[in-house]
């Protein structure tokens, strides 16, 4: 890969990793479809993981998991349970998405970057979504959670499509998402750790 192709591959991987922070199964399903129909802006070698995602069996499994995940987030309180399961799954999905796009790289670079950048980005976005859902549940008793779920699924879809079609723009979106999630976490932790003003 030349420098531009490497930048595109990294941007694609980070975009898919960030999208995995919103929903675990939408990005690999759409990525598998893109590989299947050769719709990516760069040429990537097919490895075991990407071959599986583009296979009939892989697309059926990922498609079914995607539908179950999307529908599950519309069931009150199940959405919070899914967040518990989805947090480690999102990090793993981010690592795998990133490693799939860097399969032409040195294995140490591929996996090191995938774990640190791919897992870190998806984990940060996922933590931001969990925090948003927790606030929604606490303030509305879960009534607003379907709206939050719709916004998250839409954000995942937009982020995935941008990553697949316009990876460099997706990279800019990733920077914004990570900054937003990081700011929400910093605000939450600073308010949780602030000294109480109601002293006896």
Q: How far is CA 136 from the centre of its chain?
A: 20
Main-chain dihedrals φ then ψ at residue 77, nearest 5 degrees: 70, -30
Is the pLDDT at 64 greater than 90? The verdict is: yes
pLDDT for position 199: 43
Half-sphere exposure of 15 (CA within 13 A, CB side): 26
The residue whose two tokens read 């860097």 is: 102
Dump pLDDT digits (tens) for 89-146: 999 999 999 999 998 888 998 999 999 999 999 998 888 888 887 788 788 877 888 8
pTM for the model stands at 0.85
Contact at 8 Å (CB) between 103 and 44?
yes
Contact at 8 Å (CB) between 9 and 102?
yes
Half-sphere exposure of 191 (CA within 13 A, CB side): 5
């Amino acid at each position: 890969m030349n420098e531009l192709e490497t930048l595109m591959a990294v941007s694609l991987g980070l975009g898919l990793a960030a999208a995995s922070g919103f929903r675990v199964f939408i990005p690999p399903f759409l990525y598998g479809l893109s590989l299947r129909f050769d719709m990516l802006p760069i040429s990537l070698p097919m490895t075991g993981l990407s071959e599986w995602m583009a296979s009939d069996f892989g697309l059926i499994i990922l498609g079914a998991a995607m539908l179950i995940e999307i529908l599950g987030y519309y069931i009150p309180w199940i959405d919070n349970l899914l967040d518990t399961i989805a947090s480690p799954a999102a990090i793993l999905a981010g690592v795998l998405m990133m490693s799939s796009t860097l399969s032409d790289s040195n294995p140490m670079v591929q996996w090191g970057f995938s774990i640190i950048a791919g897992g870190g980005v998806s984990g940060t976005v996922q933590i931001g979504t969990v925090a948003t859902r927790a606030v929604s549940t606490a303030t509305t008793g879960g009534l607003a959670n379907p709206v939050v779920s719709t916004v998250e699924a839409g954000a995942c879809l937009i982020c995935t499509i941008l990553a697949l079609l316009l990876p460099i723009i997706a990279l800019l979106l990733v920077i914004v998402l990570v900054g937003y999630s990081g700011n929400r976490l910093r605000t939450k932790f600073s308010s949780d750790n602030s000294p109480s003003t109601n002293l006896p």
